[in-house]
Amino acid sequence: MAKDRAIVEDIDRSLYDFRYEEKDGEFYKIKEGLTEDIVLEISEKKNDPKWMRDFRLKSLEIYNKSKMPNWGPDISGLNVDNIVTYVKPNTKMSGTWEEVPDDIKNTFEKLGIPEAERKSLAGVGAQYDSELVYHNLQEEVAKQGVIYTDIESALHGPYGEMIEKHFMKLVPPTDHKFAALHGAVWSGGSFVYVPKGVNVEIPLQSYFRLNAPGAGQFEHTLIIVDEGAELHFIEGCSAPKYNVANLHAGCVELFVGKNAKLRYSTIENWSKNMYNLNTKRARVEENGIMEWVSGSFGSHISYLYPMTILKGDNARAEFTGVTFAGAGQNLDTGAKMVHIGKDTSSYINTRSISKSGGISTYRSAVVIQNQAKNAKSAVSCQSLMLDDQSRSDTVPAIDVRTNQADVGHEAEIGRISDEAVFYLMSRGIPEEEAKSLIVSGFADSVSKELPLEYAVEMNNLIRLEMVGAIG
């Protein structure tokens, strides 16, 4: 009798697929689509200063003139005319969980955010649809002069000029069509400023939950780590599954000063109806260090390529990422490093897993400018396909404009080794457990870089269940 072939089940997303129905009166929703009236209404709701209102309108103009991206997966199934760009819970932002409305609070309780805050976080921001509903910073961190608040409050406070100076300077609306869309309708997100010489020893975290069907989320995260300062910032994202398209087009801008260090960790676990078109970018000054740790799960389509500009001499950057593409998913991810300063260095290390017809594409770029003498860069991308229906591609680009540089690249695409499975089974390990060990080990380079709670979350997301035997 023939044995069933070992299979890998999809990620169990039941933890994230719960949802509360948004009833009339509990939420304000703007009209679907994108018009000047809609942009002006969002601006009025936000009480924008004049420069921001003008910025939104200019971004809308750029959006209308820009073409759809053509370098990645097909996104013709996304129609912005059907997307609600602004959904506001009928509540004000609070500094205590007790004041957050029960339905929203229960959502974050199920996701473990309050518990994580109590155990291991120095500050937390929680966004529900288009608005921050909770923001808090530990008193001892605030006493260090660290600013961690929602970006809209900061826009009207003493840091308003700093925000105006930095807002969408790394990611201008002209960058691509969805950057322009973001500039027009952005809402929510966090502002962080770490003063000179301050080391924030415990991570800060923002968590983004998109609950409304057919909606978009366009949060803006702006982090400035001043000279000699250090910070670890964690970003978490999730959404329940609907039968209509949802859109995430957030923006992250990171400024790393001289001799400063920033680690930015992300677990993105959007649902499979999500178009994830996020843009993340960092600029690093002299002797600064930028570290990215990224886990990409969920989403129907993803375009995600965090970019680091190594502006100052001796600036360094590392990107470590893992992507899991299952049925109905086409995840186009990677990283970009731009070397400008002398003696700069970068390292990209990625792992991608695909199954059940999922498509995973690694797309990277390393650019070494003419003045970036003695720059060093290394890229390692490995892909693992778990069946015959899946696909994995690597699309690396290397642009070196000086002969005084050291650049290396390696790529590997393969399947679970029968020899490795056989070896483990010969040591008494069942096939199912053997394959799970191999896949978990494959993604270990990312999980070991995350704080414990988030490493557990990532490992749960890629927990694999096996049935049957070889043959």
The dihedral sign for the CA sequence 307, 292, 264, 235: positive
Q: Which residues on neighbouring strands pair with residue 398, listed in sequence order?
A: 366
Q: Which residues on neighbouring strands pair with residue 265, listed in sequence order?
A: 234, 293
- Report which of residues 245 and 279 the model is more confident about: 279
- Report which of residues 133 and 5 the model is more confident about: 133
pLDDT for 309 equals: 98
Could you tell me the pLDDT band of residue 17, with boundaries at 50, 70 and 90?
Answer: very low
Q: CA torsion, points 224, 332, 298, 67, in degrees to nearest 10? A: 80
- 88 in a structural domain: yes
- Mean pLDDT of all residues in 258-283: 90
Q: Which residues form the domain of 204? A: 27-423
- 92 in a structural domain: yes
- 471 in a structural domain: no
Report the C-alpha gap between 300 and 275 in whole angstroms.
6
Report the C-alpha gap between 89 and 92 in whole angstroms.
8
Which tens digit of pLDDT belongs to each residue from 56-97?
999 999 999 999 988 889 999 999 999 988 887 665 655 666
Which tens digit of pLDDT belongs to each residue from 379-426?
999 888 888 888 999 888 999 999 999 999 887 777 777 787 788 888
Buried b (16+ CB within 10 A) or exposed e, 14-46: eebeebeebeeeebebbeeebeeebbeebbeeb
Could you tell me the pLDDT band of residue 11, with boundaries at 50, 70 and 90?
Answer: very low
pLDDT at 339 over 70: yes
- 182 in a structural domain: yes
Residues 6+ apart with CB under 8 A from 182: 59, 171, 173, 218, 220, 249, 250, 251, 279
- 434 in a structural domain: no
User: In whole angstroms, how far apart are CA 442 and each of 312, 381, 426?
Assistant: 34, 11, 21
Among 70-74, 237-241, 359-363, which stretch is predicted with the lowest mean pLDDT?
A: 237-241
pLDDT for 332 equals: 94
**CB–CB of 181/34 below 8 Å?**
yes
Report the C-alpha gap between 325 and 194 in whole angstroms.
36
Give the count of domains, the chain. 1
* Residue 318 amino acid letter: E
- 390 in a structural domain: yes
- 319 in a structural domain: yes
Which of 213-227, 278-292, 385-399, 429-443 is modeled with the greatest confidence? 278-292
| Alpha-helical regions (H) of 384-443 | 418-426, 431-442
pLDDT at 36 over 60: yes
pLDDT at 460 over 80: no
- 461 in a structural domain: no
pLDDT for 373 equals: 96
pLDDT at 116 over 90: no
Report the C-alpha gap between 88 and 129 in whole angstroms.
7
- Mean pLDDT of all residues in 425-440: 77
Roughly what angle, to the nearest 10 degrees, separates helices 36-46 and 50-65? Answer: 150
As given in the structure block, the two tokens for residue 389 are 């229906």
Could you tell me the pLDDT band of residue 354, with boundaries at 50, 70 and 90?
Answer: confident
pLDDT for 243 equals: 56
- Mean pLDDT of all residues in 279-296: 95
Which tens digit of pLDDT belongs to each residue from 173-229?
999 999 999 999 999 889 999 999 999 988 888 877 776 777 888 999 999 999 999
Q: What percent of the chain has pLDDT over 70?
A: 76
